[in-house]
Structure 1
Amino acid sequence: MFTGLVQSMGTAQLISPSRVQVTCPALQPQLAYGDSVAVDGLCLTVVEILPEGFLADVSPETVRRSLWGQGSGVRTVNLEPSLRVGDKLGGHFVSGHIDGVGQLWDQVATGDAWELSFKVPGEIGRYIVPKGSVAVNGVSLTIAEVRQGGCWFRVAVIPQTYHDTNLSLLQAGDPVNVEADMLGKYVEKLLGLGSPESSISLEFLAEHGYV
């Protein structure tokens, strides 16, 4: 479990179809075999400690759903160790199991902050709601505006988050790992939304002021 509050940046590269090498000198001293680390939002398990980083295994499903499925070059990545009992929860609950890949639509500087908008597939957009949470490359963000049924959304990013994460490196059209808030998925499951037996739909919830 993670919070979406990035602690450092590093680089990562897919060195085989099932293994990632992460270089993170600032984070390496606190890591141990078996630890979980969010790498651009992906929960990876440390299988070997290196002098300046670690190795982690990735499944075909992880590669398919993430940026690794779009190339094996070296990437600048956001890093966050797993949440420990007693740690502060300053972001939102992030599982590290991303839903898929979206893309940066545009970004605009507004005073001391930045507004970034993203496009995501419909299977992710269904969980995007105004003032809800989303993790983009592992960064916990609050959704400011939603269009196209959630397939387009805008977030405001404060200077600290912008400069201390790889959000500042993104250009329009760049792909990003996206994880929607897990609470929306559980609500959908419990209410049976989308099943033939359910009388509750997203339209019903919207009509009655729930979404």
Structure 2
Amino acid sequence: MFTGLVRSIGRLRPLGTDLMQITCDYPAGGTSEANRAGAEAILTDLELGDSVAVDGVCLTVMHLLPNGFTAAVSPETLGRTTLGKTSGEMLVNLEPSLRVGSKLGGHFVTGHIDGLGYLDSAVRTENAWEMSFRADGRVSRYIVPKGSIAVNGVSLTVADCDAIGSWFKVAVIPVTYAETNLRLLEPGDPVNLEGDVLGKYVEKFLRAGKDDSERSVPQEMMGRSSMEGVSPGFLAEHGYL
């Protein structure tokens, strides 16, 4: 589990078809204090088996390196994310997994990418960068005005979107723009998108309620308009406790 608050920018390099090397040394001698501090924090506590969000993709540390780690990437991940669209090096956003008791400053991010988006435009305003994206159908249904979305692992709020969520706009504050790889995007570049996990559960519950309402409710409760007669004993008898 992550929060969408990127700690550092790293450098990703493919090692064969299913192995990635991620290092925290970018750019040599030119990282900001925030990026340097974030990289040091990630590497200091990093252990084998830990989860790290790499451009929003949850990867597991397989081997520790002096300045980074390696991680295996499945065919599903390569096919669904930007990690499968590079044959050379790329700069990626890095975030360690959420620790119990840590601050939750963004929103709950699982690191399981729903689909790709593509940058339409990035416009500088007085106090932010307004960035517009197009989203594919696997994620567009979870995009709603003022909802949360993770773009390359960055927690952002949807400022505006069309009716079906295939287009949306976010406002990126200067510090986030400067300390993530969002500033490197050009129109047409792909990004990893993860919709708000709460929306996915709501969708599932609504669908289950519509498809399975008669099967999921005991016959004795059919037609009840209130909770009258529903007791702990009744629920236990019908497998609800």
TM-score by length of 2: 0.79
Q: Find out whether 1:166 has 2:177 as its counterpart.
A: no
Partners in 1 of 2:100 and 2:45 — Cα distance? 16
Which position in structure 2 is the counterpart of 1:109?
124
Is the 1:127–1:181 contact (alpha carbons within 8 Å) kept by the matching residues of 2? yes
1:21-76 per-residue CA deviation (whole Å, 9 max, x = no partner) reads 00114232331111110000000111100111100011111111001222222110
Calculate the aligned-residue CA RMSD, in Å.
Answer: 1.6
1:163-202 maps to which residues of 2 (within 5 A)? 163-192=178-207
Runs of 4+ aligned residues of structure 1 deviating over 3 Å after TM superposition are: 193-198
1:79-98 maps to which residues of 2 (within 5 A)? 79-98=94-113
SS at match of 2:164: helix
Instruction: Quote how far apart the aligned CAs of 1:148 are.
Output: 4.7
Q: Which amino acid in the other structure matches residue 153 of structure 1?
A: F
Gaps of 5+ in 1: 199-211
Partners in 2 of 1:123 and 1:33 — Cα distance? 32
Which position in structure 1 is the counterpart of 2:14?
14
Instruction: Quote how far apart the aligned CAs of 1:86 are.
Output: 0.2
Larger mean Cα displacement after TM superposition, 23-32 or 33-42 = 23-32
Gaps of 5+ in 2: 26-38, 214-241
Give the paired residue count: 198
Q: Percent identity?
A: 61
Partners in 2 of 1:41 and 1:193 — Cα distance? 29
Larger mean Cα displacement after TM superposition, 79-88 or 140-149 = 140-149
1:16-55 maps to which residues of 2 (within 5 A)? 16-25=16-25, 26=39, 27-55=42-70
Partners in 2 of 1:34 and 1:65 — Cα distance? 23
Which position in structure 1 is the counterpart of 2:161?
146
Instruction: Quote how far apart the aligned CAs of 1:197 are.
Output: 6.8
Instruction: Quote how far apart the aligned CAs of 1:87 are.
Output: 0.1
1:91-129 per-residue CA deviation (whole Å, 9 max, x = no partner) reads 000000011111101010010210001001122111100
Q: Find out whether 1:70 has 2:85 as its counterpart.
A: yes
Give 1 or 2: higher strand fraction.
1
Give 1 or 2: higher helix fraction.
2
Is the 1:15–1:72 contact (alpha carbons within 8 Å) kept by the matching residues of 2? no
Instruction: Quote how far apart the aligned CAs of 1:195 are.
Output: 6.6
Partners in 2 of 1:33 and 1:197 — Cα distance? 43
Partners in 2 of 1:118 and 1:194 — Cα distance? 33
